[in-house]
Structure 1
């Protein structure tokens, strides 16, 4: 049914790998800032725009960074392809 050499699968695998890398980057940013800047004593928190620094950088700035990163990845690496199977008997 599907040709092993089908370009659609090659493109899909590359795009899936890019997606996994973006997820890992997102997790690393979130985890690093949430647990790297957080402390057990809320009196020692530093604040950015009224939010604890760990929360601002992991949840707000990290989300904005990831939205921009995903947009850039979509523009640079993802292709618009037809998902219709090409008829080889034409």
Structure 2
């Protein structure tokens, strides 16, 4: 069974796509943390506001959501591959 994992190209694809997913999660966290604590690390009376919301919130939460939606859509359509889940060599089980 362990030998099958090494020879099955689906495991290599899944590993690569999992690393891409982890990379996207790290980008999301760094973006959120940078804006939330970078712009939000001051007294509330010193905040600048966009649409009635603190700018740190708009950039970190709303902007981060839009950025990640675009990045994930791009990554899934360009870099991810369709792989079959069933066994290629005869019987599953």
Is the structural similarity TM-score above 0.5?
yes
Aligned Cα root-mean-square deviation (Å): 1.5
1:84 to 83, 86, 93: 86
Structure 1 residue 88 displacement after superposition: 6.1
Greater than 6 Å deviation, 4+ residue runs: none
Q: Secondary structure at the match of 2:12?
A: helix
Higher relative contact order by CA 8 Å / sep ≥ 6: 1 or 2?
1
Q: Which has the higher helix share?
A: 2
CA distance in 1 between counterparts of 2:89 and 2:41 reads 61
Q: Secondary structure at the match of 1:80?
A: coil
1:1-90 → structure 2 map (5 Å cutoff):
1=1, 3=4, 4-87=6-89
Structure 1 residue 81 displacement after superposition: 0.8
TM-score when normalising by structure 1: 0.92
Would the aligned equivalents of 1:33 and 1:57 in 2 still touch at CA under 8 Å?
yes
Q: Secondary structure at the match of 1:24?
A: helix
Equivalent pairs counted in the alignment come to 89
